[in-house]
Amino acid sequence: MSQRAPLFLDPYKAAERGAAFSGEFALSVFHRLASVGDAREGVVNASFAFRRDPLLRHCVEGTVSAELALVCQRCLEPFRRRYEARFLLKLVGSEAEAEQADEGVDPVVAPDRRLDVVRMLEDELLLAIPDIPRHDEAGQCGWRGWREQPESGVAESPFAVLASLKKH
């Protein structure tokens, strides 16, 4: 059974108990997401559980999702899209331990046995957003291309001016 998600917790105790959490967070508490888009309104949905893996490492596994308002980098118009991230993270106590983590293992740092849940979820959402956000379909996008044909349908040659100078 899952409990309401806290903002901070001892992840090692949670893993020993096999604790599971789910809930909604106000999008406004995710400050780094505000730099990516309009994060003033909306909610972040999260569901995650702590456990020990077969190698007895403390882990947290879950999903996080939110509908975000971003700016399309193709047409520069705002758009809304839902992003979701699934994650499996190994708990470590310091940045030094994180750097020594096995390849293929994503660490999350919990200094002094205290995990900032909002920061962990925000990290995963930021990783789910593409570097260059844009509309899913070109038809939704206001961008129509770099060169638009003149209304007459016949493009004027860029060398026409040079031809007239050559005649003089």
Q: Is the pLDDT of residue 55 over 70?
A: yes
Q: Is the pLDDT of residue 148 over 60?
A: no
Q: 19-28, 32-41, 152-161 — which is least confidently predicted?
A: 152-161
Q: Is the pLDDT of residue 38 over 80?
A: no
Q: How many CB atoms lie within 10 A of CB 98?
A: 15
Domain region containing 62: 2-144
Question: Are 107 and 101 in contact, with CB atoms under 8 Å apart?
Answer: yes
Does 63 reside within a domain? yes
Cα–Cα distance for residue pair 63/108, rounded to 1 Å: 15
- Collapse the DSSP code of 32 into the 3-class scheme (helix H, G, I; strand E, B; otherwise coil) and give the result: helix
Q: Is the pLDDT of residue 138 over 90?
A: no
Does 164 reside within a domain? no
Cα–Cα distance for residue pair 105/50, rounded to 1 Å: 15
Note the pLDDT of residue 64: 97
Does 14 reside within a domain? yes
Domains of the chain: total: 1
Does 112 reside within a domain? yes
Does 150 reside within a domain? no
Q: Is the pLDDT of residue 164 over 70?
A: yes
Cα–Cα distance for residue pair 35/149, rounded to 1 Å: 37
Note the pLDDT of residue 89: 94
Does 99 reside within a domain? yes
Q: Is the pLDDT of residue 90 over 80?
A: yes
Cα–Cα distance for residue pair 61/48, rounded to 1 Å: 5
Does 104 reside within a domain? yes
Residue in the structure block whose two tokens are 């499996």: 88
The residue-averaged pLDDT of 30-40 equals 79
